[in-house]
Amino acid sequence: MPFVQPPRRRRELLFFLENMSEEERGVTLPTDVPLEYRVFYRIVSGLHASISTHICSDYLNSTTNEWEPNLGCFISRIGAFPDRLQNIYFNFVLLSRAIQKMEPYLANYDYSTGIAKDDRAVKRLMPKMLRAVKNSGFVFDEKELFQDEFGPAMKTEFKDNFRNISRIMDCTGCEKCRLWGKTQTLGIATALKALFSYPDKSFRGSFTTLDFKRNEIVALITTYFQFSYSIKGIEMFRGMYQDFVTDWRASQLD
């Protein structure tokens, strides 16, 4: 579904929300759509919504020429659509589960860059991140997917579709958008690879059966950070909206 045109003025936001139809507020997939296809839709939708959250969090104000959060942008692109918000969290949960599964491997991975300052920072921060994700509990059960006779074919379809998304990114004119889009697409693909291509035991012991390239590991961690930042942005916009509503209600009493 295309994005709804945002209101031009801040005071129009409440009217904008009150007059949106249920159909405009989200997408309801037919009940007979397989679970695997629903997951794919949620992944792509969440990726799109996450990128949009970043855009709205750092938006150029054409009047002041300053970069700042834009509440109208957020509401019209993400906030008014429960499914888009939910799909951001869904991707975060999926990424968290992949990192949980890969934890022994990631803890022993050689992140050396040759830059002493960066290497010290990675050595300090990675254990904290892995510990936090590990302590978040069991958040996603990948064993529910690809279990019937169509499972192998669907896995192949998943891989092909993600390759197509990455190729589409090559057509993006903005170099920054293309870089971040391809990085996060690779990050999600790496999470799926860890969840569905290897059993848990592969991430314990010598790791000899694993085949992860360095750019995949970097993309996975970067994408986890980007979705974390998106969730932080959602909390910021939620506070901004509450302040806006409070101010609006107070103005009606004057």
Enumerate the active-site residues.
174, 177
Angle at 89 between CA 87 and CA 92, to 5 degrees: 110
Cα dihedral 50, 52, 53, 54, rounded to 10, equals: 90
Phi, psi of 67 (to 5 degrees): -90, 125
User: What stretches of the chain show up as alpha helix (H) in DSSP?
Assistant: 13-18, 22-25, 35-57, 71-74, 82-107, 116-134, 151-169, 175-197, 214-253
Angle at 243 between CA 60 and CA 7, to 5 degrees: 50
Contact criterion met (CB below 8 Å) for 186 and 216: yes
Cα-Cα-Cα-Cα dihedral sign, residues 105, 107, 112, 115: positive
d(CA 59, CA 55): 6
What is the distance between the terminal CA atoms of the chain, rounded to a whole angstrom? 40
d(CA 192, CA 145): 11
d(CA 199, CA 207): 12
